């Protein structure tokens, strides 16, 4: 037996079982086995080997085979308390250790547990229009039903020709340059395409600039791909626009790309041309790729115009994401797309990687692709929602005023999407843990929201509200929040 190998394996097994030396000493005493603290210190330091009876005890207590622990067996075998071979257990990959997706995280799991006990939970945690009474346009439903029998097989891996043609024309109408039908990829929502893009791009240690707050899938996908998400600040005091000086400070030789979420989730910010130009200038100076998430580009208020950053960067390599989940209230259909534009020669090898990953997943869901042409052409019902008198517009007006009327709460008025990101006076409410705040609110008022930390915002002083519920429900939720904050002081 090798003392060093025994010591190493003893340490591994103790760590896996979350046991300390004192735990094993006590367990030995309970069994009438003489094992002192000094003995354990000698074993873990690799200075001595245990007697046979002590080795047997340690193996049993740690659930491993005696021969493996002694270093006589190469392959590890766990054993159960009866001495037989135990069932092998499977752990999640270490790649997930730093992955965060609290839009469907621990607080949501608590809400599900409460629902299982018969409680009714109002879910303001996710931008899912259908449960709040938003319906898919009739023409879209009709056209899909007529085409279902034509959608039984795979499509081209990038998508149906008609769908990609409609997307290409949509991109051209937004002045996105140098786009052909081969530059369009459809996906099962934008989420799938984000993961594909990061997987094709990043090697270990390479960095991507991601906004804070962000839609957390971006940070998660960068991390899963082996890269490092470096968060640049969006400034609440400046309409939540990206802090240009902070972006400049965060760039290193390892920085490969910058991500924009415009319109922004969770803040509802809409970036003006002058801000976009500054980001283009930085990307040009440092030779960065630009990824622009524009899924809310048709949900814009107050007569404002959404500008695609790719339209301002013909000499850079840009990838623009959009889809129908939000604008056409069909989140469950899972249809999104990405558009490659600008100087694609810079990404020739990268595009080969995208094509490989696109081919591996065969294609995105074909019935949803079949209605892209219908959805993007003709009357756009979403426009009626975002003008005065429209449902989303009026709900934004109400929630903005209601939140600002709560003592200790302030908020920037969103210009797009259907989210708002209020700030709490952390000192007033003694908030040290924003996740605990939304969990306490959930338990007290049965209303589910997501804390700012779920969007990679570092200070424990924000939360996101989805203002999709119909006005009476939204009013009730704001009244409940006001009441809760009238007495809430977070306990350590």
Query: Taking the mean position of all CA atoms in its chain, how far away is CA 98?
Result: 12
CA dist., res. 195 & res. 364, Å (int): 14
Q: What are the residue ranges of CATH 3.40.640.10 in the chain?
A: 138-376
pLDDT tens-digit profile of 207-247?
999 999 999 999 999 999 999 999 999 999 999 999 999 99
Residue 24 has pLDDT above 60, yes or no: yes
pLDDT for the residue numbered 102: 66
CA dist., res. 225 & res. 93, Å (int): 13
Instruction: Please state the φ and ψ torsions of residue 490, each to the nearest 5 degrees.
Output: -65, 130
Q: What would the 3-class secondary structure string for 136-198 be?
A: CCHHHHHHHHHHHHHCCCCCCCCCCHHHHHHHHHHHHHCCCCCCCHHHEEEECHHHHHHHHHH
Q: What band does 80 get if pLDDT is binned at 50, 70 and 90?
A: low
CA dist., res. 412 & res. 422, Å (int): 7
Contacts of residue 463, defined as CB under 8 A and 6 or more positions apart, other chains included, come to 421, 422, 424, 434, 437, 438, 449, 450, 451, 452
pLDDT for the residue numbered 79: 58
Q: What are the residue ranges of CATH 3.90.1150.10 in the chain?
A: 102-132+384-487
Copy the structure tokens of residue 244: 């240009």
Options 3.90.1150.10, 3.40.50.261, 3.40.190.100, 3.30.70.260; CATH for 102-132+384-487 is 3.90.1150.10
User: What is the overall mean pLDDT for the chain?
Assistant: 91
Residue 104 has pLDDT above 80, yes or no: no
Q: What are the residue ranges of CATH 1.10.260.40 in the chain?
A: 3-91
pLDDT tens-digit profile of 66-75?
888 888 776 6
- Give the CA distances from residue 191 to residues 180, 208, 387, in Å, rounded to whole numbers and listed in that order: 23, 17, 28
Q: What band does 479 get if pLDDT is binned at 50, 70 and 90?
A: very high
pLDDT tens-digit profile of 389-448?
999 999 999 999 999 999 999 999 999 999 999 999 999 999 999 999 999 999 999 999
Beta strand ranges found along 281-345 (DSSP E): 289-293, 317-323, 336-342
Instruction: Please state the φ and ψ torsions of residue 211, each to the nearest 5 degrees.
Output: -70, 155
3-state secondary structure of 334: coil
Residue 337 has pLDDT above 60, yes or no: yes
CA dist., res. 95 & res. 9, Å (int): 23
pLDDT for the residue numbered 409: 97
pLDDT tens-digit profile of 466-476?
999 999 999 99
pLDDT tens-digit profile of 132-189?
888 888 888 899 999 989 988 999 999 999 999 999 999 999 999 999 999 999 999 9
Residues across the chain: 492
Q: Average pLDDT for residues 57-74, to the nearest whole number?
A: 84
Contacts of residue 68, defined as CB under 8 A and 6 or more positions apart, other chains included, come to 9, 59, 75, 76, 77
pLDDT for the residue numbered 379: 77
Q: Average pLDDT for residues 265-277, to the nearest whole number?
A: 97
Q: What band does 336 get if pLDDT is binned at 50, 70 and 90?
A: very high
Tokens 């998660």 found at? 220
Q: What is the CATH number of domain 3-91?
A: 1.10.260.40
Residue 491 has pLDDT above 70, yes or no: yes
Q: By percentage, how much of the chain surpasses pLDDT 90?
A: 67
Q: What band does 277 get if pLDDT is binned at 50, 70 and 90?
A: very high
For residue 138, cis peptide bond before it (omega within 30 degrees of 0): no
CA dist., res. 155 & res. 163, Å (int): 11
Farthest CA pair distance, the chain: 83
Torsion sign, CA atoms 136, 140, 142, 147: negative
pLDDT for the residue numbered 16: 85
Report the topology of domain 138-376. 3.40.640
């Amino acid at each position: 037996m090798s003392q060093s190998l025994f010591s190493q394996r003893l340490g591994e097994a103790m760590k896996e079982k979350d046991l300390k030396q004192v735990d094993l000493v006590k367990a030995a005493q309970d069994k009438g086995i003489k094992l002192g603290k000094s003995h354990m210190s000698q074993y873990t330091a690799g200075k001595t080997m245990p007697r046979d009876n002590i080795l047997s005890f340690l193996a049993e207590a740690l659930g491993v085979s005696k021969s493996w622990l002694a270093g006589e067996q190469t392959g590890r075998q766990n054993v159960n308390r009866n001495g037989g071979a135990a069932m092998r257990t499977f752990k999640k990959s270490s790649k997930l250790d730093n992955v965060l997706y609290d839009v469907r995280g621990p607080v949501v799991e608590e809400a599900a547990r409460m629902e299982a006990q018969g409680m009714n939970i109002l879910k303001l945690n996710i931008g899912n229009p259908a449960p709040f009474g938003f319906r898919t346009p009739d023409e879209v439903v009709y056209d899909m039903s007529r085409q279902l029998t034509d959608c039984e097989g795979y499509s081209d891996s990038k998508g149906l020709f008609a769908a990609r043609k409609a997307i290409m024309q949509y991109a051209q109408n937004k002045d996105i340059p140098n786009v052909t039908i081969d530059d369009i990829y459809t996906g099962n929502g934008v989420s799938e395409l984000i993961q594909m893009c990061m997987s094709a791009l990043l090697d270990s240690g390479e960095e991507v600039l991601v906004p804070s707050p962000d839609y957390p899938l971006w940070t998660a996908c960068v991390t899963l791909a082996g890269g490092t998400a470096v968060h640049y600040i969006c400034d609440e005091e400046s309409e939540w626009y990206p802090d240009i000086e902070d972006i400049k400070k965060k760039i290193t030789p390892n920085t490969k790309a910058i991500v924009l979420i415009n319109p922004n989730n969770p803040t509802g910010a809409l970036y003006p041309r002058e801000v976009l130009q500054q980001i283009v200038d930085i990307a040009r100076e440092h030779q960065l790729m630009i990824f622009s998430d524009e899924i809310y580009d048709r949900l814009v208020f107050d007569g404002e115009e959404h500008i695609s950053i790719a339209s301002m960067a013909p000499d850079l390599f840009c990838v623009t994401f959009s889809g129908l989940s939000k604008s056409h209230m069909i989140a469950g259909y899972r249809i999104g797309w990405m558009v490659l534009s600008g100087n694609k020669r810079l990404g020739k090898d990268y595009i080969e990687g995208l094509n490989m990953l696109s081919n591996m997943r065969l294609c995105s869901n074909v019935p949803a692709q079949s209605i892209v042409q219908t959805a993007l052409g003709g009357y756009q019902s979403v426009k009626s929602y975002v003008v005065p008198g429209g449902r989303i517009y009026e709900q934004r007006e109400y929630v903005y005023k209601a939140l600002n009327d709560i003592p200790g709460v302030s908020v920037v008025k969103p210009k797009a999407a259907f989210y708002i990101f209020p700030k709490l006076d952390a000192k007033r409410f003694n908030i040290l843990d924003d996740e605990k705040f939304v969990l306490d609110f959930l338990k007290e008022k049965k209303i589910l929201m997501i804390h700012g930390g779920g969007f990679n915002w570092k200070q424990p002083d924000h939360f996101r509200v989805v203002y999709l519920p119909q006005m009476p429900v939204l009013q009730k939720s704001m009244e409940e929040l006001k009441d809760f904050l009238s007495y809430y002081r977070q306990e350590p």
